[in-house]
Amino acid sequence: MTLLVAEDLHKAFGPTPALVGAGLSIGAGEIVAIMGPSGSGKSTLLHCLAGILRPDRGTVRYQDVDLGSLSDGKRSELRRTEFGFVFQFGQLVPELTCLENVALPLRLAGLKRRDAESRAVEGLARLEVADVAGKRPGETSGGQGQRVAVARALVTSPKVIFADEPTGALDSLNGERVMTLFLGAVRASGTAVVLVTHEPRVAAYADREVVVRDGRSREVERAG
Amino acid sequence: MSLGHALLGLLERGPGHGYDLKKAYDDRFGQDRPLHYGQVYTTLSRLLRNGLVQEAGVEAGAGPERKRYAITDAGVTDVETWLATPEKPEPYLQNTLYTKVVLALLSGRAAAGVLDSQRAAHLDAMRVLTRRKTDGDLADQLICDYALFHLEADLRWLELTADRLDQLAERIGR
């Protein structure tokens, strides 16, 4: 089943074109890597797919709903309920503990503190960072912080997680650890992932890759 | 890979039969390519001839040769020297991919296509290794990582070359 389809996306920032006819389609539970050099437009593509940016031209449809037809309020509700996000860094609220950070999306969705925190505890345990529950993000290592961020992205049981260079700030070993736990968790829950990365070793965790070059995307033909 | 040194290294833990050695080698280093018995016995007789191992009794019983081998002092020294000598880094100066790209350009064919299909084949191989690593133990992880880092290096080269194809075509055209 196709979950998310983007067609003929164009987006410019001032005179600089970032996307000039990019598109891709993602099935439920599918893990797709978006690859390409810096400045190729891969992050812009991710932001358009996730409804963070409005393309100048082209459509993004999520479960047959055209994101362009939704009001800002409806789009941000969709992001909160159906999507999860993992970025390179700086995504956790520094004043809250890791547990409170993971529980936050559930609290925003109206869950009682106790229920939200008990699900957050499970999420932290699944990413093997239960021991940092009471610490603030600044008191954790980079790898632990990223695993907390993944737990937070997963806690609302989203249909799609958008991950932009999730291991970009980590050394090889911690990057591997984050990817293994992240991918184990999404495969178990059937969550689709759009993974932006310029690292082939990270892209190799995905089911297939889409290459973005000069604002155009290309689904890669399978060899053999 | 020097099979002789690997077998000597395995014999340092204690004497063993050819069969034990083959099994120990296959478990640790064989991966997709288990040793042939012939290779093991040929290598052991060479080591014996060179005084790096000695016979340590013959076991009665059915089946193939039941001779046991033990490492000698000279064998231990040989392993030590081998471990302490760095492997010569591969120069990597002759490579098929570069040759294909240049020949595609020279013959007016689509060199970008050569790079793209190679890139897809590399990533497919990386996905297989990543899955094997994810399901495997630490030994699998380290062996697969070694292969993954090498494939990744190729991929980086493929990307860099894709970005410089026009330049290369210009130079070659001269």
Nearest by CB to residue A223, choosing from B124, B129, B130, is: B124
pLDDT at A197: 93
Residues of B in contact with A184 (CB under 8 A): 134
pLDDT at A169: 86
CB A167 within 8 A of CB A156: no
CB B34 within 8 A of CB B73: no
Winning range, highest mean pLDDT, from A30-39, A120-129, B18-27: A120-129
Q: Where are the alpha helices (DSSP H) in chain A?
A: 42-49, 72-82, 98-108, 113-126, 142-154, 172-189, 200-203
Hey, are the CB atoms on A203 and B123 less than 8 Å from each other?
yes
pLDDT at B155: 93
- Please count the other Cβ atoms lying within 10 Å of the Cβ belonging to residue A37: 16
pLDDT at A19: 93
Residues of chain A in Cβ contact (below 8 Å) with chain B: 37, 180, 183-184, 199-201, 203-207, 209, 211, 220-224
Residues of B in contact with A199 (CB under 8 A): 152
Confidence band for A224, pLDDT divided at 50, 70 and 90:
very low
CATH of domain B3-84: 1.10.10.10
**pLDDT tens digit sequence for A154-189:** 999 999 999 999 998 888 889 999 999 999 999 999
Pick among B126, B130, B158 to test the A interface (most A CBs inside 10 A): B130
**Complex prediction ipTM:** 0.82
**pLDDT tens digit sequence for A198-215:** 899 999 999 999 999 888
Domain architecture of chain A: domains with CATH: 2-219 (3.40.50.300)
The answer on pLDDT for B141 being more than 60 is yes
Sign of CA dihedral A161, A202, A205, A65: positive
pLDDT at B59: 74
**pLDDT tens digit sequence for A94-108:** 999 999 999 999 999
pLDDT at A223: 44
Hey, are the CB atoms on B149 and A201 less than 8 Å from each other?
yes
Confidence band for B173, pLDDT divided at 50, 70 and 90:
confident
Side by side, which strands form the sheet with A31-35?
A83-86, A160-164, A192-196, A31-35, A208-213, A216-219
Confidence band for A195, pLDDT divided at 50, 70 and 90:
very high
pLDDT at B121: 94
Min Cα separation A209/chain B (Å) = 9
Residues of B in contact with A207 (CB under 8 A): 127
The answer on pLDDT for B62 being more than 80 is no
**pLDDT tens digit sequence for A114-151:** 999 999 999 999 999 999 999 999 999 999 999 999 99
Min Cα separation B164/chain A (Å) = 13
CB A36 within 8 A of CB A19: no
The answer on pLDDT for B81 being more than 50 is yes
Q: What is the mean predicted confidence (pLDDT) over A109-117? A: 95
The answer on pLDDT for A55 being more than 60 is yes
Domain spans of chain B, in order of start: 3-84, 96-173
**pLDDT tens digit sequence for A74-91:** 999 999 999 999 998 778
The answer on pLDDT for B174 being more than 90 is no
Hey, are the CB atoms on B151 and A200 less than 8 Å from each other?
yes
Relative to beta strand A31-35, strand B53-58 is unpaired
